[in-house]
């Protein structure tokens, strides 16, 4: 269930958004102004924030700046004004969408759903393209490995071997399967090829060398 924070000093606006969002299965939390929203965000996590701009005590733009210091939550701004300046300023702050009052609750929900869908897809892509274990990070798009924030030098085959083991973490892989998957079915080699590269890879991984575990009589696995 997605969790939404609705920030608006108008009670009727909050009630309408709550009604439609609850109907679609979302959990909704209200904040009456920017100061209230900042306090709530320190105590709870949200999947998205619907934020009014013109509010007493602290406006929506200033509120987002403060929240973004500690949390990166998608934001849809609400405003009774449709000036281009407000929209551009909001997008410069990194908001995800902008809705002008009066608005259609159905359209707002459609925009919320679109932002959440896009955000979750991006998060999934980031996770698929990056692997992090303690102080080791693999940037699979950049084909770079870092340990303690320092780039480690791997040969192309060492890198491919590490990625294959990590993608199949905690799974015992035979030498033959590793040879076929990393070197290719047309590669003419032997089990010793895998053993040699595992030894080299372990040396390169330093303090994480023991994460590559030998499965006696079979092969290897990357064990978390």
Task: Return the CATH number of the domain spanning residue range 134-222.
Answer: 1.10.10.10
Residues forming CATH 3.40.50.2300 domain(s) in the chain: 3-127
Of residues 16 and 180, more confidently modeled: 16
**Mean pLDDT value across the chain:** 88
Of residues 200 and 91, more confidently modeled: 200
Least confident of 180-184, 189-193, 217-221: 189-193
Q: Residue 28 pLDDT more than 90?
A: yes
User: Alpha helices, DSSP H only, in 26-83?
Assistant: 34-43, 60-67
pLDDT for the residue numbered 165: 94
Q: How confident is the model at residue 25 (pLDDT cuts 50, 70, 90)?
A: very high
Average pLDDT of span 63-76: 90
Residues forming CATH 1.10.10.10 domain(s) in the chain: 134-222
Q: Does the domain formed by 3-127 have CATH 3.40.50.2300?
A: yes
Please tell me the pTM assigned to this model.
0.59
Q: How confident is the model at residue 189 (pLDDT cuts 50, 70, 90)?
A: low
Least confident of 77-91, 95-109, 128-142: 77-91
Torsion (CA) 183, 187, 191, 193 in degrees, nearest 10: -60
pLDDT for the residue numbered 140: 83
Cβ atoms of 178 and 161 within 8 Å: the answer is: yes
Distance CA 163, CA 156 (A): 11
Cβ atoms of 53 and 37 within 8 Å: the answer is: no
Average pLDDT of span 165-173: 92
Q: Which residue from 207, 218, 126, 212 is spatially nearest to 162, judged by alpha carbons?
A: 212
Q: How far is CA 184 from CA 90, 124, 189, 197, 211, in A?
A: 50, 28, 10, 15, 24
For 192, residues 6+ apart whose C-beta sits below 8 A from its C-beta are none
Backbone angles phi, psi at 220, to 5 degrees: -145, 165
pLDDT for the residue numbered 33: 94
Distance CA 168, CA 193 (A): 20
């Amino acid at each position: 269930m997605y969790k939404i924070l609705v920030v608006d000093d108008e009670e009727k606006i909050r009630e309408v958004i709550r009604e439609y969002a609850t109907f679609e299965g979302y959990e909704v939390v209200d904040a009456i102004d920017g100061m209230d929203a900042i306090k709530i965000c320190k105590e709870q996590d949200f999947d998205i924030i619907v934020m009014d701009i013109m509010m007493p005590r602290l406006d929506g733009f200033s509120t987002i700046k403060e929240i973004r210091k500690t949390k990166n939550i998608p934001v849809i701004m609400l405003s009774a004004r449709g000036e281009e300046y407000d929209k551009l300023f909001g997008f410069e702050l990194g908001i995800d969408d902008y809705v002008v009052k009066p608005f259609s609750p159905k359209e707002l929900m459609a925009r919320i759903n679109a932002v959440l869908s896009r955000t979750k897809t991006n998060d999934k892509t980031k996770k698929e393209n990056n692997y992090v274990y303690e102080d080791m990070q693999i940037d699979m798009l950049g084909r770079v490995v870092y340990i303690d924030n320092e780039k480690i030098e791997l040969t192309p085959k060492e890198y491919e071997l590490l990625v294959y083991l990590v993608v199949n973490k905690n799974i015992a892989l035979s030498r033959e399967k590793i040879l076929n998957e990393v070197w290719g079915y047309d590669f003419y080699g032997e089990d010793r090829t895998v053993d040699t590269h595992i030894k080299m890879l372990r040396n390169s991984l330093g303090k994480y060398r023991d994460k590559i575990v030998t499965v006696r009589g079979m092969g290897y696995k990357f064990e978390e």
